[in-house]
Structure 1
Amino acid sequence: MFQECVNQLHLRSLVSVSMDGPNVNWKFLDLLQEEHAQLYGGKQLVTVGSCGLHTLHNAFKCGFVAWGLDRLLKAMHTLFNNVPARRENYMQVTKSSVFPLSFCAHRWVENLPVVERALAVWPSLLIYMEAVRTKKAPNPGTGSYDTIAAAIKDPLILAKLHFYMAIARTFTPFLKRYQTDEPVMPFLGRDLAEFLKSLLRRFIKRELLQDATTVQLTRLDITERKNWVRLQDVDIGLGAESILKVMLYWSSSVLSCPLRGEKLLILSHGQASVERGFSVNKEVETTNIMGDTVVARRLVCDYVALHGGVTKVPLTKELLKSVEAARTRYRDYLTEERRKKELEAKGQKRKAAEDDLEELRKRKKTILEVSQGLAREADKTAEEAEAKSGTKMAELISKSNILRKGSKKKLAELEILEKEIEAKGAELRKIE
């Protein structure tokens, strides 16, 4: 079948054969290499191993499968997938029409949107599960429901999901960069080393990674405790860290609550005004008011209390003038708030432009390196052609021309990119 498909192709120009999977068609590749060597004087295809993407996915899976996150994410999707009645119950109870996404078991790293959606719908899912528990919604009675119910009992489940998301976001840029038709293979070793360092920095001492070569990285013993950072310095991601801090805060609050009660009971009369202040604050507070409003209301309450009631407050000239100017002060306040928001929006826009500019510069650097590499290879091939004759010389000259065309094509891309960088720089200057 393969021979029929490639019968019209010039296999001498074949450079490599791609493989979809870490352990697929090795026998086919071996046979193809042997045939290629027989036909073309011992020359063989460039071998760069099997599908590296699958290897990355499997490595990622190996690190997370112990937590059973795959079962949870599958269950969240399965519980509502193709079950209209249950989806309707969910929407009625939660007032939300956002549902979990499907989990792909053989592409763990690409499940980042699935985890992000899972975290987004988690509060609604808790509401639904509580409605089922209190019999306000029908019990699905399925394995998926039981899996979710068990996961909810895990106090660290949200921290685990956030950690999954943090690591997946580390993998994603590398995967995107190398899912391309660009000739980026020469940079794979360097980028893979940097990627590995970014993962190891989360729990390995930085001084061990600072100037480590690629070979040293492969020999680094990550099971050696002396190479680890302190437990409190392990980087688990901002999301997971925030979850743990909240848990720690509430647990400490619960533990210290009886002690606080005892201290409140023995407060002297000198603290009575402060304690009353807590009650007053509670009375003046309403939903979604900011600190300035609380302060203003407290000032009014304190002033009224000072004079013994609302009807006893003296209407002085200063008070009347203050009331007259209240609307003006409020407009000034709104103007100032708008100015702050505009400055914040401008800062965000500037940051986005700077990030875009940095990305364009990185692309420029990569394309320039590729172009220079192709040009060097073309020169080298041309020099080899000078020492040959006949068919061999023609082949080398043809190869050199192809490489040089590739280099020129990259230079043309570079010119376009230069214009984009210039335009983005001008945009950034306008923002400033």
Structure 2
Amino acid sequence: MFPDSDIAKTFTCGDDKTAYITKFGLAPHIKRDLVSKINNGPFVLMFDESLNQTTKNKQLDLHVRFWEEEQVHSRYLGSQFMGHATAKDLLEQVKECVDQLELRSLVSISMDGPNVNWKFFELLQREHAEQYGGAQLVVVGSCGLHTMHNAFKCGFTMWQLDKLLRAMHTLFHNVPARREDYSTVTKSTVFPLSFCGHRWVENLPVVERALAVWPSLLQYMDAVRTKKLPNPGTASFDTIAAALKDPLILAKLQYYMALARTFNPFLKKYQTDEPVMPFLGKDLAELTKSLLRRFIKRELLQDITTLQLTRLDVADKNNWLHPQDIDIGLGAESILKSTKGVELTVLEFRRDCMQGLSNIVRKVQEKSPLKYPTVRQMACLDPSVMYRDPDRCKRQIKCLVQRFLQDKQLTGGVSAGDVILQQFDAFLSLESRSEEFLSFQPMQKRLDIFLRDFLGKTYPELWAFCQKLLILSHGQASVERGFSVNKEVEACNMQQDTFVAQRLVCDYVTLHGGVTKVPLTRQLLNSVSSARSRYRIHLDQERRKKESEAQGRKRKAEEDHLEELKRRKKSILEVSEGLARDADRFAEEAEGKAGSKMAMLISKSNLLLRGFKEKLAELEIIEKEIVAKGAELRT
């Protein structure tokens, strides 16, 4: 295979060599290295669950956010597999996965927003406080990205657009004959896309495609109506046929598209592992305002603060604009202007849009990270805010220090807090007045690297505090991306520990930017060279485990047999005693009788005595078996 390489000629690889090198060579080294780096400083845990299609269990993935090589990283730590997923189950599984970590350095937990997760967080907080002298984890709310998707969904449930979009895709998906009929009639090979039910905002391409193929779909439906093509007779076809009767269906799709485009920049910006929490409050507030400006009176939004945004009563219709003034997007407005004779339907459509916007904003307010002071106060680490409003930054950093003191997350207590505030004051006065701070652009330069260059050496206490703040997670993007990796790694009959090993290796390769860029350190090479011996030890342990289990099953069977013998002995004793009593009774009755009556009673008594003797013989045999079996079990 490699005629020009003497080294390659000597290379051999058996069927299972790659597997055991991954599981017993690479993965142990990666895990040890990861744990040692995590335990060097503060960290944040992130977790989420998904269904593992191979094992058919819930797979709980845990990631860790910590400082590595002078910047924030999010790394895969491990997975736990479970059936039930109550709060107590989650707590047990998480504790098992992080048993090698120094939990005193745990700063916060990042998670989605289901009630079971909040119950888990409550249990963890209680246990954390008991173990570490009342220390509490910093609360920054649940994942802000999931909140956006769930909120967006609430604005469109009344129209059931998801049902239509699914039907458009299903009608032609994996049906070659129907696709050929469609292409023949429409002269088009462009088909609807699949609708994603749990990430509504990301369905923007689906809606764009639906609008693009709508004229062709009308041609197809008309051909079916005129019987030029066979009627599919499916629920999907009926759903589309019903939607065609709605004169404003295209306006609804255009409105969906306009609103999704409002959300998309925010979601794309925060699909990152970089520390962007300092910008989250401002961007989320601006997104909320952009939604409110579509249907809320302008005077209510003038000079409104971030906290007031979360408390504004958007359900009060007195705060709404007139239906004619609502902003539904240019596409929807254009369709409404071209639609004649349905004025009442148009008015109802506008009111539905306002109600939908109200539902969206209420959902955002309910789950918004903006409700949590820490999220709002993190803006003090935004370089542009440092330049423009240093006094505000001083107030916010003071609140953060007080919060960490209250949660017992600040080593050194009040005196350390005073030093942090003094250094931050000096930093704002001396460092933050440069053009670099004013022109700082998130996503173009990493905030952690930017602040490290200014704080790392000159302000050590302040920098240590900022490191804790910068690892606070703004969302679950890294965990969600891991689910895609799971699907690639999954294979039939794959064991759970093998799955975790492969995930660790994938994460390590991704961290270094590819297989060819992974540093071949001495520790890594030594671990791989020891993989074969570890594999043999593992096989030996598995063999011993199977033998032990087999012996256990055999002993259990023998113990069960012994118990059965004892039960039989007890039963025979009871029967034999009954036979003896009956024989004696018949014999006593025979003494007072004569003739045939006496003979019959004596005959019965003798018959019972023979049965009694047989039972005694059987009992003797069973007793010998019991003695022998007991001696066998004792050896």
**TM-score, with length taken from structure 1:** 0.59
Identify if the C-alpha distance between structure 1 residues 373 and 151 changes in structure 2 by more than 3 Å, giving closer, same or farther: farther
- Say whether 1:66 aligns with 2:66: no
Q: Which residue of 2 aligns with 1:155?
A: 247
Displacement of 1:192 in angstroms is 1.6
Amino acid at match of 2:337: K
Structure 2 CA distance, aligned partners of 1:404 and 1:128?
A: 57
Within the candidate set 251, 269, 275, 1:183 is matched to: 275
Q: Which residue of 2 aligns with 1:353?
A: none
Displacement of 1:4 in angstroms is 3.2
Identify if the C-alpha distance between structure 1 residues 174 and 134 changes in structure 2 by more than 3 Å, giving closer, same or farther: same
Amino acid at match of 1:233: D
Displacement of 1:54 in angstroms is 2.7
Report the RMSD for the aligned CA atoms in angstroms. Answer: 3.2
Displacement of 1:81 in angstroms is 1.0
Q: Which residue of 1 aligns with 2:335?
A: 243
The 5 A counterparts of 1:4-403 are 4-248=96-340, 362-363=441-442, 371-372=450-451, 382=461, 399=464
Displacement of 1:79 in angstroms is 0.7
Structure 1 CA distance, aligned partners of 2:140 and 2:186?
A: 51
Structure 1 CA distance, aligned partners of 2:190 and 2:443?
A: 40
Structure 1 CA distance, aligned partners of 2:299 and 2:103?
A: 49
Amino acid at match of 1:382: E
CA-to-partner distance for each residue in 1:236-274, whole Å, 9 max, x for gaps?
1011111112224x989xxxxxxxxxxxxxxxxxxxxxx
Q: Which residue of 1 aligns with 2:505?
A: none
Structure 2 CA distance, aligned partners of 1:24 and 1:111?
A: 28
Structure 1 CA distance, aligned partners of 2:138 and 2:229?
A: 61
Amino acid at match of 2:239: T
Displacement of 1:205 in angstroms is 2.3
Displacement of 1:74 in angstroms is 0.8
Q: Is the 8 A contact 2:195 2:206 kept in 1?
A: yes
Structure 2 CA distance, aligned partners of 1:7 and 1:169?
A: 44
Displacement of 1:8 in angstroms is 2.1
Displacement of 1:138 in angstroms is 1.1
Q: Is the 8 A contact 1:202 1:235 kept in 2?
A: yes
CA-to-partner distance for each residue in 1:86-139, whole Å, 9 max, x for gaps?
111111111111111111222211111111111111111101000110111110
Q: Is the 8 A contact 1:378 1:403 kept in 2?
A: no
Count how many residue pairs are aligned between Structure 1 and Structure 2.
284
Identify if the C-alpha distance between structure 1 residues 361 and 48 changes in structure 2 by more than 3 Å, giving closer, same or farther: closer
The 5 A counterparts of 1:410-425 are none
Displacement of 1:380 in angstroms is 7.0
Q: Is the 8 A contact 1:119 1:161 kept in 2?
A: yes
Structure 1 CA distance, aligned partners of 2:276 and 2:249?
A: 39
Q: Which residue of 1 aligns with 2:511?
A: none
Amino acid at match of 1:170: T
CA-to-partner distance for each residue in 1:132-179, whole Å, 9 max, x for gaps?
101111100011100000001100000000000111111111122223
Identify if the C-alpha distance between structure 1 residues 56 and 24 changes in structure 2 by more than 3 Å, giving closer, same or farther: farther
Displacement of 1:375 in angstroms is 5.7
Identify if the C-alpha distance between structure 1 residues 161 and 380 changes in structure 2 by more than 3 Å, giving closer, same or farther: same
Identify if the C-alpha distance between structure 1 residues 83 and 23 changes in structure 2 by more than 3 Å, giving closer, same or farther: farther
Q: Which residue of 1 aligns with 2:81?
A: none
Structure with more strand by fraction: 2
Which range moves more in the overlay, 16-25 or 193-202?
16-25
Amino acid at match of 2:103: L
Displacement of 1:59 in angstroms is 1.7
Q: Is the 8 A contact 1:374 1:403 kept in 2?
A: no
Percentage of pairs with the same residue: 69
Displacement of 1:381 in angstroms is 6.2
Equivalent position SS for 1:363: coil
Equivalent position SS for 2:158: helix
Identify if the C-alpha distance between structure 1 residues 178 and 94 changes in structure 2 by more than 3 Å, giving closer, same or farther: same
Structure 2 CA distance, aligned partners of 1:80 and 1:194?
A: 40
Equivalent position SS for 1:67: coil
Structure 1 CA distance, aligned partners of 2:456 and 2:114?
A: 31
Structure 1 CA distance, aligned partners of 2:291 and 2:102?
A: 43
Q: Is the 8 A contact 1:33 1:44 kept in 2?
A: yes
Structure 1 CA distance, aligned partners of 2:470 and 2:316?
A: 51
Identify if the C-alpha distance between structure 1 residues 370 and 170 changes in structure 2 by more than 3 Å, giving closer, same or farther: farther
Identify if the C-alpha distance between structure 1 residues 23 and 144 changes in structure 2 by more than 3 Å, giving closer, same or farther: same
For structure 1, which runs of at least 5 residues remain unmatched after alignment? Answer: 253-359, 384-396, 407-432
CA-to-partner distance for each residue in 1:63-92, whole Å, 9 max, x for gaps?
101011011011111111111111111111
Q: Which residue of 2 aligns with 1:3?
A: 95
Equivalent position SS for 2:114: coil
Amino acid at match of 1:363: P
Equivalent position SS for 2:219: helix
Equivalent position SS for 2:155: helix
Structure 1 CA distance, aligned partners of 2:294 and 2:342?
A: 26
Displacement of 1:21 in angstroms is 4.6
Q: Which residue of 1 aligns with 2:17?
A: none
Amino acid at match of 1:123: P
Q: Is the 8 A contact 1:377 1:400 kept in 2?
A: no
Structure 2 CA distance, aligned partners of 1:220 and 1:374?
A: 40
Equivalent position SS for 1:182: coil
Q: Is the 8 A contact 2:169 2:193 kept in 1?
A: yes
Amino acid at match of 1:138: P
Identify if the C-alpha distance between structure 1 residues 232 and 180 changes in structure 2 by more than 3 Å, giving closer, same or farther: same
Displacement of 1:191 in angstroms is 1.8
Structure with more helix by fraction: 1
